Amino acid sequence: MRYLKNRGVRVGAVASIAVLALAACGGGSVSEAEQANESKAAAAGGECGEFNIIVNPWVGYTADAYVVGNVAAEQLGCTVNYVDLKEGGPSYAALGSGDGDVILEEWSHQAELQQAESDGSAVDLGSPGNVGIIGWYVPGWLAEEHPDVLDYQNLNKYASDFKTSESGDQGQFLGSDPTYTQYDEAIIKNLGLDFKVVFSGGETATVEAFEKAQKNKEWLIGYFWEPQWVHAEVPLERVKLPPYTPGCDQDKAKVACDYAETELKKVGRTEFMDSGSTAATLVKNFNWTNDDQNLVAKYITADKMSPEDAAAKWVSENQDKVDAWLAG
């Protein structure tokens, strides 16, 4: 049984055997279910086989993975495995070894992507339709009562208000998962800010910290991003840093600018994409919006649905979009 844990996403790499699920739900025989899956695969122009979806540890990615996985299993008859890995190096290593077939939400690991393309292990499949925004945020109440906090040049005068037991004599800057794309320590140092990065450990802890800070009017500044469903429920305001310019983040030790807005990418294992699997066509065509992703993420987090149920609900209500993904 695949599952999601609070305190960061963990998806068990367990196969979803479509024929058994169909037989159990429909009351038919395994043979009937197999025939149904074969018919779906034939209608889509080929067979699927095994499909290994890499899942990185944030709920938006879980939304991507389980929606694609639902369509692959239920409408293409694939055997779907979810492989939970950190982003960047570990995910690209899985593409190289064949343990994973696709990364559905690549943020900005350009060096790893270029190396994978160079050695022929992976191919850039373009955007899934999502735009990634990383930045520094404060809770809405703080921006309303102290609007000048939204300019980094005013942060030092408030450093003592942001202090915590973990940051000592400096203001606390709340980081998230240290394996995420982030260089806040360099920004703080290079802008001369009197703050210390304290990592929350993951997405769930970060979300809870901002929810608590808004509810209790606590001082908090930290790393956050979009798409993320909580923006619809908790007011967050972005702090203005020196604007991003191409190349300003090239030397990670010298970064003194904001994060770039990133058109997210899909990356596929070359052999898998050339295999003729119908899942490869699905991945190539998969495209949705930040709002689509946020809705599925909300089902999982706020509505406490399992990733499987959340994905099934969205797919059942958006078959027109799914049909476009399945088109050859």
Q: Which fold has domain 18-130+264-326?
A: D-Maltodextrin-Binding Protein; domain 2 (3.40.190)
Percentage of the chain surpassing pLDDT 90?
76
Q: Which whole number is the average pLDDT over 136-159?
A: 98
Q: What is the pLDDT of residue 140?
A: 97
Neighbours of 262 (CB within 10 A): 18
Neighbours of 26 (CB within 10 A): 11
Listed by start position, the domains of the chain span 18-130+264-326, 133-254
Neighbours of 77 (CB within 10 A): 25
Pick the residue with more confidence: 111 or 155? 155
Beta strands 262-263 and 195-199: pairing type? Answer: unpaired
Residues 192-222 as b or e (16 or more Cβ within 10 Å = b): ebbbbbbbbebbbbbbebbeebbeeebbbbb
Instruction: Give per-residue pLDDT as tens, 120-130.
Output: 999 999 999 99
Neighbouring-strand partners of residue 54: 83
Q: What is the pLDDT of residue 192?
A: 98
Q: What is the pLDDT of residue 207?
A: 94
Residue 217 identity: K
What is 41-108 written as a DSSP string? HHHTTS---EEEEEE-SSHHHHHHHHHHHHHHHHHH--EEEEEE--TTHHHHHHHHHTS--EEEEE-S
Instruction: Give per-residue pLDDT as tens, 187-214.
Output: 999 999 999 999 999 999 999 999 999 9
Instruction: Give per-residue pLDDT as tens, 8-65.
Output: 333 333 333 333 333 334 444 445 544 544 444 444 445 899 999 999 999 999 999 9
Token pair in block for residue 35: 């025939």
Question: In CATH terms, are 18-130+264-326 and 133-254 the same topology?
Answer: yes
Q: Which fold has domain 133-254?
A: D-Maltodextrin-Binding Protein; domain 2 (3.40.190)
Say if CB 66 and CB 308 are below 8 A apart.
yes
Q: What is the pLDDT of residue 26?
A: 40
Kindly report the average pLDDT of the chain as a whole number: 87
- pTM, 2 dp: 0.71
